[in-house]
Structure 1
Amino acid sequence: MLTVAPLVVLSLGLLQQASADPTESLPGVYDLTPENFDKHITGAKDAIVEFYAPWCGHCKSLTPEYKKLGEAVSSDARLKSRVVIAKVNADEHKSLGTRFGVGGFPTLKYFSRGKPVNEPIDYSGGRTKDAFLEYINNKLTEDNGFARVEILDTLARQFTSASDTSDLIKKAQELAGSLTDEAKINGDVYLKSMQKAASKGMDWFSTEKARLERLLESGNVNTNKISEIGRKLSVLTAFDKEE
């Protein structure tokens, strides 16, 4: 009778635990196809996308860590509001692999907010949940000023040290009114922030920033409000005295 050494059995068990089917649905991870790719990867948020093949051993090994990443991002209101985690079966959807220059599996691409969707950068960092999160958080830190408007940043710096803010508020109102599209939305946040601080005192900036951060950390925020909070937090950095 054939017997299998306990060490071999253990090794086989660990191997099975360390890999999984990359085609399975993962919590917090979008499965992208040519039909829905541009719906989810729009440039409005950062995104990391894995291009895989079902038969690829390295893709199978990556799946448990990618699952952990999806769970971590979907359970963090701040991250969920700013980053998309997704994967593509590029063996089945070859057009997407061709579109993004995928030459091997798994290939991971990082799509930065505000950049053309067809110009992602290659992710070459570690392939553990913690390595992914460190990379993502570094990218988001670099992009904390996503809602900043340069012409209003100058006023913001003057505002925090001004003894009379009425002229600055009037100027901000004029500038915000001259903006269009996304910049107009952001400009209105500058103006409302100045008006609030003028009535409540300059400490309002720090207390409001802390309040919004607590809201996000609580996880008890309506999904529709998360992006609005992120926008406000971004604009509030323009009023940091350290800047």
Structure 2
Amino acid sequence: MAVDCDEHKSLCSKYGVSGYPTIQWFPKGSLEPKKYEGPRTADSLAEFVNTEGGTNVKIATAPSNVVVLTSENFNEVVLDETKDVLVEFYAPWCGHCKSLAPISISLRISCYHFKVRVVNFCKTNNVKPDYALFFLQTYEKVVTAFKLEEDVVIANLDADKYKDLAEKYDVSGFPTLKFFPKGNKAGEEYGGGRDLDDFVAFINEKSGTSRDVKGQLTSQAGIVESLDVLVKEFVAASDEEKKSMFTRMEEEVEKLKGSASRHGKIYLKAAKNYLEKGSDYAKNEIQRLQRILDKSISPAKADELTLKKNILSTYAA
């Protein structure tokens, strides 16, 4: 647990707290604390708790899908012309409440069932309240939202450790976020909000993706505007005219690149089935796909079926 010494001055004074953060151990049934003097790492704190409390706490490292950048892999990852890359330049400062946030959270979770309490006395008036939450939760959620997008990379770099890279990209404050799109590897600073919604909207706009905050495809995923125009003409055309429209669609798909080209092939397959199976094909297939989507399936499979469903909806409109 934590005590804010700005808010509870008398309590902190009672227990001789003069520097921040101060960590004290209160044995069971006692109000006489023992000051923790060891290293400020999760493993060291866990060892201290185990020794003093007779517990067997083990710190589980939270899995992370953020791509960790170094001087060795920075150019390979960030300057890849086939990828849109969002990079967080951060500094893992020590010695104040912000840097202790991950450790305190880990210990509280691990010690819960042992009824053990570690008290962290700190001051919060000089700490950005959203940073720890942003670093621990929001950025990981951004990664999760775009984990199935092969062309989108979410990464971070320890700017304290790799100062030369931070200087090269004019990083002076932390965290600094820069976006390196396919067409601009000089990088552009991200100046938007720090909520998950803000990041998802930014990446969708810049990368042409269509994800929601849960990482699911939206109803616009897979839609190619130039093909939508042709689909409307295709559906309204006579049977003979549909054949010539199909040829025009093939020609348009040949012009497309990247993900649009992949989606174009779905348009063509849908048009072919429409010709062979009649006008009810799109509606019936959408219903079939929705029944599968309502079941428990893998995220990758859900993406595949959602793309087909979205594109088929243009034929059923």
Q: Secondary structure, in 3 states, of the residue corresponding to 1:116?
A: coil
Give TM-score, length-normalised by structure 1: 0.63
Residues in 1 aligned to 2:202 and 2:305: alpha-carbon distance in whole angstroms = 15
The question of whether the paired residues in 2 share the 8 Å contact of 1:155 and 1:172 is answered with yes
Residues in 2 aligned to 1:151 and 1:27: alpha-carbon distance in whole angstroms = 39
The question of whether the paired residues in 2 share the 8 Å contact of 1:157 and 1:241 is answered with no
Q: Cα offset for 1:104?
A: 1.9
Match of 2:191 among 111, 123, 134: 123
| 1:155 alignment counterpart | 230
- Summarize the Cα distance change of 1:85–1:140 in structure 2 as closer, same or farther, 3 Å threshold: closer
| 2:74 alignment counterpart | 37
- Summarize the Cα distance change of 1:50–1:206 in structure 2 as closer, same or farther, 3 Å threshold: same
Paired AA for residue 66 in structure 2: V
Q: Secondary structure, in 3 states, of the residue corresponding to 2:229?
A: helix
Residues in 1 aligned to 2:134 and 2:236: alpha-carbon distance in whole angstroms = 48
Match of 1:65 among 126, 129, 134: 134
2:186 equivalent to 1:134: no
2:265 equivalent to 1:188: yes
- Summarize the Cα distance change of 1:90–1:65 in structure 2 as closer, same or farther, 3 Å threshold: same
The question of whether the paired residues in 2 share the 8 Å contact of 1:157 and 1:238 is answered with no
Larger radius of gyration: 2
The question of whether the paired residues in 1 share the 8 Å contact of 2:179 and 2:187 is answered with no
| 1:49 alignment counterpart | 87
CA RMSD of aligned residues (A): 4.5
Paired AA for residue 255 in structure 2: L
Q: Cα offset for 1:98?
A: 3.4
- Of all paired residues, the percent bearing the same amino acid is 26
- Gap regions ≥5 residues in structure 2: 1-8, 24-39, 42-60, 100-127, 211-219
| 2:282 alignment counterpart | 202
Q: Secondary structure, in 3 states, of the residue corresponding to 2:154?
A: strand
Q: Cα offset for 1:64?
A: 4.5
- Summarize the Cα distance change of 1:141–1:48 in structure 2 as closer, same or farther, 3 Å threshold: closer
Paired AA for residue 198 in structure 2: Y
Residues in 1 aligned to 2:159 and 2:153: alpha-carbon distance in whole angstroms = 18
| 2:65 alignment counterpart | 28
| 1:172 alignment counterpart | 249
Return 200-209 or 47-56, whichever deviates more: 200-209
The CA deviation string for residues 198-235 of structure 1, in whole angstroms up to 9 with x for no partner, is 436232574477578668xx56245xx68x73993697
Q: Secondary structure, in 3 states, of the residue corresponding to 1:80?
A: coil
